[in-house]
Amino acid sequence: METGVGKFACAAEPRCEVVSVGNEQLPVLVVDGLAAEPELLLEYAAAAPGFSARAGDYYPGLRKPLPSAYTENLCATLDKTLREVFQLPSTAAAEPLLCALSIATTPAEKLRPIQRLPHFDSSDPNQLAVVHYLCPPQLGGTAFYRHRASGFESIDADRLYGYAAALKQQVMASPPQGYTSGDSQLFVQTARFDAQFNRALIYRGNQLHSGLINATTGLSADPRAGRLTATSFIRFTR
């Protein structure tokens, strides 16, 4: 039986694989065939109202809110798997912080400095990020990174201050250019995952990562042609 109804339903049994990444062996959950009818999500993305920029959002493009049913269905379908893979407290409640369709549109030359680097979403290890690809592989997946100077692949509360201060000095000395791709002077790519239509990646939000946004294939704002994803942040609270 599908979880939920209509365009936001999850498949009954999506295919799940856990990959351990980097020296820190951080888990990344790869879920293929997540949505029961992903084409309905494309229809929702293409319908009015359209996408828009969000103030204070570092995502290099536009967003469109998704109803909470999307994340509720995802959490219900994958609840047991998420708790096992990410060692979440059995009593923790899932709290959606973001649920939106996202489409990359910002030209490389217009990126802000912070958008040119691998990043983390939160220092809370109980906050998860979900990137659900609704686009073909050539528009770019997601990669994970190690900070060369510190060796950090994830940033928790204890690492946050020292890491942020060191990275600021490095960026001021040698400003990065363009979208993150592969190894750089400051970061080593530890793993990369290709986009596949209706595939989702789920990982801790404190893991250093970046979208592999291929500006050469175009940054179309058309949801049926651009790098469209459904993006969720989910915090598990006691």
Cα separation, 76 vs 78, whole angstroms:
6
Residue 233 lies in a domain: yes
CA 77 vs. chain centroid, Å, equals: 19
Concatenate the DSSP letters of all residues of 89-119 into one string.
Answer: -TTPEEEEEEEEEEEE---GGG--GGGGS-B
pLDDT at 121: 96
The end-to-end CA distance of the chain, in Å, is: 29
* Number of structural domains in the chain: 1
Residue 5 tokens read as: 């109804």
Residue 93 lies in a domain: yes
pLDDT at 4: 43
Residue 108 lies in a domain: yes
Torsion of CA 218, 106, 234, 139, to 10 degrees: 10
Q: Looking up tokens 């651009």, which residue turns up?
A: 226
Residue 1 lies in a domain: no
Residue 16 lies in a domain: yes
CA dist 84 to 4, 18, 136, Å?
A: 23, 11, 30
Averaged pLDDT, groups of 10, the chain, 238 residues long:
64 96 98 96 95 90 95 95 94 93 95 95 97 95 97 98 96 93 96 97 98 89 96 93
Residue 94 lies in a domain: yes
Judge whether 23 and 204 are in contact, CB under 8 Å: no
pLDDT at 2: 39
Domain span including residue 31: 6-237
Residue 57 lies in a domain: yes
Continuous segment of H or E residues that includes residue 143: strand 142-147
Continuous segment of H or E residues that includes residue 63: strand 61-65
- Alpha-helical segments (H) within 150-225: 157-173
DSSP 139: G
pLDDT at 5: 53
Cβ-proximal residues to 111 (8 Å cutoff; 6+ apart), any chain: 60, 178, 179
Residue 217 lies in a domain: yes
**CATH number of 228's domain:** 2.60.120
Residue 223 tokens read as: 């949801």
CA 16 vs. chain centroid, Å, equals: 17
Task: Give this prediction's pTM.
Answer: 0.95
Torsion of CA 106, 53, 222, 69, to 10 degrees: 130
